[in-house]
Structure 1
Amino acid sequence: MSLLHQDAVRTLGGWTAPDPDQDLLRRDYLDHLRDRPDGVWRSCHPAHITASALVVDAEGRRVLLTLHPKVGRWLQLGGHCEPEDTDLAAAALREATEESGITGLELFPVAGTPAPVKLDRHAVRCAGRDQPENTHLDVQYLVTAPAGAVASISEESLDLRWFGFDELPERTDQSVRELTALARTLLG
């Protein structure tokens, strides 16, 4: 088993879910990892672990969302784990840095340590529109940007913008709305 797989089991095994639905997802993710040694890789079908991050500005008033080219909705930053990733938190931070162009992003500590804030399971066609759907078992983190951070659009995005917590665009996925509300609560 890879270091990333081991970290995913350790992270999810030690994570205290905020409610029964999230705990059920956590247990489903752990079952997936128990059954699939390749469960963290994009090549694992019909499901695999992904890592994402909601980027919040230094003032804690706005979130950075990407207009995803395949989904056509505004989403948090993140995606597939890579062979060089050794832990989920670092994978989420890497994805957020790559997709935002912002250096100096920091994982938001939950109970003093970087930890997931939410899990989300969703069907996607990550291999292309002509391929069968796949399920992402997304492990979501909260990331803070440094003061004055300027984002730049990557090749993985149609658009990239900052939005106030109460100003999310119409085409924002419901799970992102929930993640944003959770971030607002955690940031106080």
Structure 2
Amino acid sequence: MSLREDAARVLKQWPAPDERQDALRLEYGDHLAAHPHGMWKACTEGHLTASALVVDPTRDRVLLTLHRKLRMWLQLGGHCEPEDTTLAGAALREATEESGIAGLTLLSGGPVRLDRHLTPCAWHLDVQYAAIAPEGAEAAISEESLELRWFGYDEVASVADDSVVRLLDRTRALLGVSS
């Protein structure tokens, strides 16, 4: 199965949590059907990306990156690569590369949410996961970031945009962590 086929399968099977997310799920599927190269950065009409919100082992903080190009605090993630075989694997690879943390574990059940946003290269149709860091995890900054920092849940809204806040809220709901 190709990465594109895996993405189409994931999107088809994902139980969207609400009508807006379901509309995005359908839009992403239509995009893949219309653009054979819709997984790749070279698709200037837009492309799927994969990201993950990294949660610390105590489940009370998240790791955000101050993105070098966008100058915004974001979850970890980015473009799919030719060696990626699954969307979940791409999200995990990106989170591991950008955090420097080995042993991240994605939450079971597939994506947490979807977010479509315009970037300097094209529309990103981001498939967002959540990952739990192992005990003793120490983050190490990558060339993608200006800074990496752990933020308490109550701090995220003061540094990040609404898309990150919505991702955090959905992740907390799935973890059963009250707000």
What residue number does 2:119 align with?
A: 124
Equivalent position SS for 2:59: coil
Q: Find the partner of 1:142 among 102, 123, 130.
A: 130
Partners of 1:146 and 1:119 lie apart in 2 by 25
1 CA distance for matches of 2:144 and 2:47? 20
Matched, 1:156 2:144: yes
Q: Which residue of 1 aligns with 2:58?
A: 59
Whose helix fraction is larger, Structure 1's or Structure 2's? Answer: 2
- Name the CA distance, whole Å, in 1 between partners of 2:80 and 2:168: 23
Instruction: Name structure 2 gaps, 5 residues minimum.
Output: none
Identity %: 61
Measure how far apart 1:171 and its partner are: 3.4
Aligned residue in 1 for 2:3: 4
1:169 CA displacement: 6.1
| Alignment correspondent of 1:186 | 174
Figure out how many residues of one structure are paired with residues of the other and give that number: 176
Structure 1: segments with no counterpart, 5+ residues: 127-133
Structure 1 window deviating more from structure 2 (21-30 vs 177-186): it is 177-186
1:176 matched to 2:175: no
Given that 1:50 and 1:79 are in contact with CA atoms closer than 8 Å, whether structure 2 keeps it comes out as yes
Cross-structure match for 2:103: 104
Contact 2:157–2:165, Cα closer than 8 Å, also in 1 = no
Q: Are the counterparts in 2 of residues 101 and 154 from structure 1 also a CA contact under 8 Å?
A: yes
Q: Whole-Å Cα distance in 1 between the matches of residues 14 and 95 of structure 2?
A: 21
Superposition misfits of 4+ residues, deviation over 2 angstroms? none
CA drift of 1:170 comes to 3.0
Match of 2:115, as an amino acid? D
* Cα contact 1:50–1:139 (8 A) shared by 2: yes
Q: Structure 1: how far apart are the matches of 2:163 and 2:151?
A: 16
Mapped to 2, the partners of 1:9 and 1:183 lie a distance apart of: 22
TM-score by length of 2: 0.96
AA aligned to 1:68 is H
Aligned match of 1:129? none
Letter in 1 for 2:153: F
> Could you tell me how far 1:183 is from its partner in structure 2?
1.2
